């Protein structure tokens, strides 16, 4: 019995028979309650689930009817449905909801070192699916977002399952499921890479090569990008080493698949295969499922470690064409250098493309002599659509890199973490944890030795790491204008840049002084010597195509970085980002954000805070947030995908907010009578307006919002709102300009 969400939504009674939950909307209410089991779901969230952004006038009454009917259906089951502010709460055991049980099984599997046990857990989790999640519910944006989240977890489970089988020499058992997944989503490179490796392990090298080339063509035709590292590594494995006879035999004997049970769980051992990589000294990289780049230099070159093991050196090569960041490097010296005054844990945060990784690597190479036992580096893949690297996976790679033999690494995660602390307690190591998503994944990866230091980079703020571990944090800003011009000179020659100084300055501004955008722009110019800087500037001035012009065929463009960040946002923040395209001002405050979201100020403040924590907004003053130009253009792209109706509704709500707040300002300035002569006031919730109790507060609001209000007529006309909105907006702008000239008494 229980609630099924991984397929058609069903409520199963204690005898196993399905209960009658009539109507898609009622099933949607049940599904949302089950997904949020044990947490109160606000009434507005149900509206969003059932009707999207346009709930009917009787939405609250309709919801109450669905809740009343569900209470009757749930009578006699282990679930209880309660009214709990600000909405409704479903109570019951999480394991009776298949989606919650599924996520719990996947999380357990990801934390296991035993591949056979992890494969069995993933197998049990995948067997819970009976179709597309939430497919028979109303097709709203929230329903799609929730289904996509469940689908992402299913793909993650499939990936872990296939990786485990591959490691057990039973990759053949995963081929059918991987082929089905690739047919439905052939642009997910990690899945294709696993298929290539499993086909190769099964002795089907020609099929593996065919799968690779089909994916390569599709990536080129649909996204204009080349295969990434995962696919390239899979191809290299096929080309470099034919499958061994015993692996093919083991693969042929394997008989597991999604929905079946894993086999004997025999662990397949053997040495790691080494392939050469480009580096400044002779190194080798272990091709393994772990995300750690393991590189060991000869002891004579790098110094010694406890037990006579060689020093580890896994830093990628230094970034080329690096400019600026002297202040950041000096800060890292103080926090993590050999002669530091800080505690050895530094966090570099900032938006995608600002140069966090390049700065950390440049500094780490320079600081390496102060860490004689070597350096460890890992890309934690915090914003990868395929999911982040697990701490247990990373720890295993670190221990291998430190010279521990495979059979000495414990399978138990706690024992493995303890061994890592023991090994690092006796060393002086520098650890670089790149592209972290959350503080939770960091704590077990911190070395224990007093002579060790750790540098973390992230697009998020990782504030918990400051609280729990005493980390020092530095937000990396975009380059100064002089640094940005110097970067262009390094990539294009000083003569070419100085010959068009004015165009170069404008190019820097159009790229938001973002290093990634500037490098892409410079690369385009370097590849087109006949182009002048002014030619590229003319192309970038067109806001409709600027992000496209700052993309690369390899998928390293500005839009890609923004998309990967957008995918990690909480739901309300993800809703707000496209809605901000409707706001005509440079800055947005919590009250206007609440109007766009049609919610209260607290929810709007949380959404704005989330966008700022991922560096998609900049908090210019308490409660006010500024949008960089490239972020503004990306929000416009997202808004356009959601259609004109959503833009019109948001523009209408924003205008009503400004009308109501302007009336409150006029009242504080004792000019409400004049205001009422000009405009027809809309109905608007008073608790969603700033208080503005005195003339000074009213004038402060008018001055802060002046530019946005002046731009309202054009914005409402562009959004295609009702015919009277541009006229109302124009008269509002005129009146607010007049009100702002009033001198407060006293």
Q: How many whole angstroms separate alpha carbon 465 and alpha carbon 345? A: 9
Confidence of residue 503 (pLDDT cuts 50, 70, 90): very high
Structural domain includes residue 549? no
Q: And the tokens for 419? A: 């061994």
Same domain flag for 512 and 570: no
- Answer yes or no: is pLDDT of 453 > 90: yes
Same domain flag for 88 and 15: yes
**pLDDT of the residue at 588:** 92
Same domain flag for 320 and 463: yes
Q: Cβ distance 387 to 154 under 8 Å?
A: no
Same domain flag for 36 and 81: yes
How many degrees, rounded to 5, is the angle at CA 61 between CA 57 and CA 63? 105
Q: How many whole angstroms separate alpha carbon 183 and alpha carbon 296? A: 39
Structural domain total, the chain? 5
Q: What one-character DSSP code corresponds to residue 228?
A: -
The number of residues in the chain equals: 746
Structural domain includes residue 745? no
Structural domain includes residue 347? yes
Numbers of helices and strands, H then E, in the chain: 32, 16
Q: Which of 249-258, 427-436, 507-516 has the lowest mean pLDDT?
A: 249-258
Q: Which domain holds residue 6?
A: 2-99
Same domain flag for 735 and 616: yes
Last residue of a domain, one of 447, 475, 503: 475
Same domain flag for 22 and 49: yes
- CA-nearest of 152, 145, 153, 143 to 9 is 143
Q: What is the CATH number of the domain that holds 238?
A: 1.25.40.10
| Phi, psi for residue 694 in degrees, rounded to 5 | -135, 165
Q: Convert the pLDDT of each residue in 213-248 to its tens digit.
A: 888 888 877 777 788 888 888 888 887 665 443 444
**pLDDT of the residue at 284:** 26
pTM above 0.75, yes or no: no
**pLDDT of the residue at 504:** 93
Same domain flag for 56 and 105: no
Last residue of a domain, one of 429, 445, 475: 475
Q: And the tokens for 285? A: 């990289």
Q: What is the CATH number of the domain that holds 78?
A: 1.10.10.10
- Residues of the chain by 3-state class (helix, strand, coil), percent to 5: 55, 10, 35
Structural domain includes residue 272? no
| Average pLDDT over the chain, rounded to an integer | 81
Q: Which of 80-84, 130-134, 299-303, 418-422 has the lowest mean pLDDT?
A: 299-303
**pLDDT of the residue at 267:** 29
Largest CA distance in the chain: 93
| Phi, psi for residue 583 in degrees, rounded to 5 | -75, 125
**pLDDT of the residue at 336:** 92
- Answer yes or no: is pLDDT of 553 > 70: no
Residue in the structure block whose two tokens are 């470690």: 305
Q: Cβ distance 113 to 399 under 8 Å?
A: no
Structural domain includes residue 269? no
Q: What one-character DSSP code corresponds to residue 469?
A: H
Mean pLDDT of all residues in 725-739: 77
- Answer yes or no: is pLDDT of 576 > 80: yes
**pLDDT of the residue at 722:** 43
**pLDDT of the residue at 260:** 42
**pLDDT of the residue at 746:** 53
Q: Which of 551-565, 590-604, 647-661 has the lowest mean pLDDT?
A: 551-565
Structural domain includes residue 378? yes
**pLDDT of the residue at 313:** 79
Q: What is the CATH number of the domain that holds 313?
A: 3.40.50.300
> CB within 8 A of 396, min separation 6: which ones?
113, 290, 409, 416
Confidence of residue 295 (pLDDT cuts 50, 70, 90): very low
- Answer yes or no: is pLDDT of 288 > 80: no
More confident residue, 440 or 554: 440
Structural domain includes residue 556? no
Strand blocks (E) in 404-482: 430-436, 453-458, 472-475
Q: How many whole angstroms separate alpha carbon 67 and alpha carbon 579? A: 30
Q: At what angle are helices 391-401 and 413-425 packed, to 10 degrees?
A: 40
Q: How many whole angstroms separate alpha carbon 702 and alpha carbon 505? A: 33
- Answer yes or no: is pLDDT of 171 > 80: yes
Query: Which secondary-structure segment (H or E) carries 715?
Result: helix 695-719
Mean pLDDT of all residues in 596-608: 91
Same domain flag for 114 and 230: yes
Same domain flag for 469 and 532: no
**pLDDT of the residue at 212:** 87
686 Rama sector, left if φ>0, alpha if ψ -120 to 50, beta otherwise: alpha
**pLDDT of the residue at 271:** 27
- CA-nearest of 441, 392, 454, 381 to 419 is 392
Report DSSP letters for 531-552, one per residue: --HHHHHHHHH-TTTHHHHT--
Same domain flag for 330 and 424: yes
Number of CB atoms found within 10 A of residue 46's CB? 25
Same domain flag for 299 and 446: yes
Q: And the tokens for 362? A: 């440049």
Mean pLDDT of all residues in 323-341: 88
**pLDDT of the residue at 594:** 92
Q: Cβ distance 546 to 510 under 8 Å?
A: yes
**pLDDT of the residue at 241:** 61
**pLDDT of the residue at 235:** 85
Structural domain includes residue 721? yes
Q: How many whole angstroms separate alpha carbon 633 and alpha carbon 637? A: 6
Last residue of a domain, one of 475, 509, 529: 475
* Helical ranges in 546-598 per DSSP H: 546-549, 558-566, 571-579, 590-597
**pLDDT of the residue at 16:** 76
The SS3 assignment for 682 reads coil
- Answer yes or no: is pLDDT of 300 > 50: no
Same domain flag for 310 and 397: yes
């Amino acid at each position: 019995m229980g609630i099924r969400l991984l397929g058609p939504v069903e409520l199963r009674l204690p005898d196993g028979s399905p209960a009658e939950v009539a109507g898609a909307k009622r099933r949607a209410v049940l599904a949302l309650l089950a997904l949020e089991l044990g947490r109160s779901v606000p009434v507005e969230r149900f509206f969003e689930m059932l009707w999207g952004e346009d709930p009917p006038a009787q939405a609250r009454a309709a919801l109450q009817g669905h809740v009343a009917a569900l209470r009757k259906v749930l009578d006699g089951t282990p679930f209880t449905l309660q009214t709990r502010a600000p909405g409704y709460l479903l109570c019951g055991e999480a394991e009776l909801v298949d989606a919650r049980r599924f996520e719990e099984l996947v999380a357990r599997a990801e934390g296991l070192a035993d591949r056979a046990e992890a494969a069995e857990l993933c197998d049990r989790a995948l067997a819970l699916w009976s179709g597309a999640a939430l497919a028979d519910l109303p097709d709203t944006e929230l329903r799609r977002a929730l289904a996509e989240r469940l689908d992402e977890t299913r793909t993650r489970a499939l990936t872990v399952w296939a990786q485990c089988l591959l490691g057990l020499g039973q990759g053949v058992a995963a081929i059918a499921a991987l082929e089905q997944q690739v047919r439905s989503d052939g642009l997910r490179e990690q899945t294709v890479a696993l298929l290539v490796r499993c086909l190769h392990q099964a002795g089907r090298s020609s099929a593996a090569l065919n799968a690779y080339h089909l994916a390569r063509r599709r990536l080129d035709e649909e996204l204009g990008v080349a295969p990434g590292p995962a696919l390239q590594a899979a191809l290299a494995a096929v080309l470099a080493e034919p499958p061994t006879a015993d692996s093919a035999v083991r693969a042929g004997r394997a008989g597991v698949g999604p929905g079946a049970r894993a086999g004997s769980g025999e662990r397949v051992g053997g040495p790691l295969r080494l392939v050469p990589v480009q580096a400044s000294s002779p190194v080798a990289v272990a091709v393994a499922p772990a995300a750690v780049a393991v590189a060991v230099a000869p002891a004579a070159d790098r110094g010694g470690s406890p037990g006579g093991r060689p020093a580890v050196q896994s830093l990628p090569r230094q970034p080329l064409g690096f400019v600026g960041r002297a202040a950041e490097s000096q800060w890292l010296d103080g926090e993590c250098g050999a002669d530091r005054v800080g505690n050895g844990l530094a966090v570099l945060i900032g938006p995608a493309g600002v140069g966090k990784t390049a700065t950390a690597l440049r500094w780490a190479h320079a600081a390496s002599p102060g860490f004689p036992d070597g350096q460890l580096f890992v890309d934690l893949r915090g914003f990868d659509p395929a999911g982040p690297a697990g701490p247990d996976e990373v720890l295993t790679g670190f221990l291998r890199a430190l010279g521990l033999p495979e059979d000495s690494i414990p399978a138990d995660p706690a024992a493995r973490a303890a061994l890592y602390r023991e090994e690092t307690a006796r060393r002086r190591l520098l650890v670089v944890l790149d592209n972290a998503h959350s503080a939770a994944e960091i704590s077990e990866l911190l070395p224990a030795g007093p002579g060790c230091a750790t540098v973390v980079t992230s697009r998020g703020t990782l504030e918990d790491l400051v609280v729990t571990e005493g980390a020092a944090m530095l937000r990396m800003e975009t380059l100064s204008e002089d640094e940005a011009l110097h970067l262009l000179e390094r990539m294009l020659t000083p003569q070419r840049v100085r010959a068009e100084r004015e165009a170069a300055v404008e190019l820097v501004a159009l790229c938001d002084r973002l290093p990634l955008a500037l490098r892409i722009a410079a690369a385009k110019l370097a590849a087109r010597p006949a182009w002048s800087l002014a030619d590229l500037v003319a192309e970038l001035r067109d806001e409709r195509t600027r992000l496209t012009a700052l993309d690369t065929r390899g998928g390293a463009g500005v839009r890609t970085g923004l998309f990967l960040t957008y995918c990690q946002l909480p739901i309300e923040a993800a809703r707000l980002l496209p809605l901000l395209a409707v706001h005509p001002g440079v800055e947005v405050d919590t009250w206007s954000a609440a109007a766009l979201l049609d919610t209260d100020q607290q929810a709007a403040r949380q959404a704005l805070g989330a966008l700022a924590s991922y560096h998609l907004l900049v908090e210019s003053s308490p409660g006010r947030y500024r949008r960089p130009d490239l972020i503004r253009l990306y929000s416009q792209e997202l808004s356009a995908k959601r259609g004109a109706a959503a833009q019109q509704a948001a523009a209408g709500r924003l205008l009503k907010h400004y009308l109501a707040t302007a009336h409150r300002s006029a009242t504080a300035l004792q000019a409400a009578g004049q205001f009422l002569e000009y405009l027809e006031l809309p109905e608007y919730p008073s608790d969603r307006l700033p208080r503005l109790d005195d003339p000074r507060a009213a004038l402060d609001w008018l001055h802060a919002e002046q530019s946005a209000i002046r731009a309202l007529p054009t914005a409402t006309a562009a959004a295609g709102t009702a015919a009277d909105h541009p006229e109302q907006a124009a008269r509002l702008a005129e009146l607010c300009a007049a009100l702002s000239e009033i001198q407060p008494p006293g």
